[in-house]
Amino acid sequence: MADKFVFHSRSKNAKPGSGSGEKVSNPKNYTELQKIKDWRKALSNLHIAPFRLDDNEWNSVEHFFHAVKFRYDKSQRAKTPQELAKVKKNYAFYQTFTLDSGSPWSEDPKLAKRAGKTGRKSIITGIRYRDKTLKLPTDTEIEMREDFYTPNVVGRLQKVAFLAKFTQHEDLKLLLLATGDAELWHYTGKRGKSKDHPGEILFDELMIVRDCIRKFDQKCNLAEVSQFSSDFITKILA
């Protein structure tokens, strides 16, 4: 059985293997990890660690994750003036998640998460979500890209953001490597499809990035490479 760590944005600073739901075969393998205070919190998408990606500065992975819901790929070119207008409005909203935008949610990951629900259509009512307290655009102006939550899209963009975060901060890179080959599970409390791990989601994309750093960090400057475009980085992680 593989070692297992469980983390979330409010994780307690317990010894490796002592956290709720965790298991390690030999605690001595994680002596360096134990020296790092609140290392579990640092693995969370809500952890503030500014990084540069796609010519923008992002305050956290959470910011980038929700922003790209509204950015269309080059393959999704607008075919009509109406589609072009929608793409432009979406892109303008995408920019509000960047650190330089100065929007109310540009710095706070939790506010970014709320703003990121904009335009998502309810399966039950068919109404698109809009958080009125954040003074967001009306629900008819902004639409989340429909293919975002398909594995090919969401997984790819998560890996890109993880690589940027954990290579542009030396301390975070060493932290991630210090988790060894342990499985990394994010505690959600409610979500989670695994029957054996209720309320937890396996962060396999983060584990892939950990392997990538271990393999290529000595061969090239990943901290510099990770600042390139998402499309370019995707080819590296393929």
Domain boundary among 99, 134, 169: 134
Residue 187 maps to a domain: yes
Q: Is the pLDDT of residue 235 over 90?
A: no
Asked if 40 and 61 sit in the same domain, the reply is no
Asked if 190 and 125 sit in the same domain, the reply is no
Predicted model pTM: 0.89
Domain residues for 228? Answer: 4-46+161-237
Residue 213 maps to a domain: yes
Asked if 184 and 205 sit in the same domain, the reply is yes
Asked if 61 and 99 sit in the same domain, the reply is yes
If DSSP codes are grouped into helix, strand and coil, which group holds residue 185? strand
In the chain, the percentage of residues whose pLDDT exceeds 70 is 84
Burial pattern 41-74, b for ≥16 Cβ within 10 A else e, equals bbbbbbbebebbbbebebbbbbbbbbbbbbbbee
113-to-66, 67, 75, 90, 109 alpha-carbon distances in Å: 7, 9, 26, 16, 6
Asked if 27 and 60 sit in the same domain, the reply is no
Residue 139 maps to a domain: no
Residue 104 maps to a domain: yes
| 9-42 per-position pLDDT tens digit | 999 999 999 999 999 999 999 999 999 999 999 9
Pairing between β-strand 51-53 and β-strand 56-58 as defined by DSSP bridges? antiparallel
Residue 143 maps to a domain: no
Cα 179 from Cα 189, distance rounded (Å): 22
The tally of domains found in the chain comes to: 2
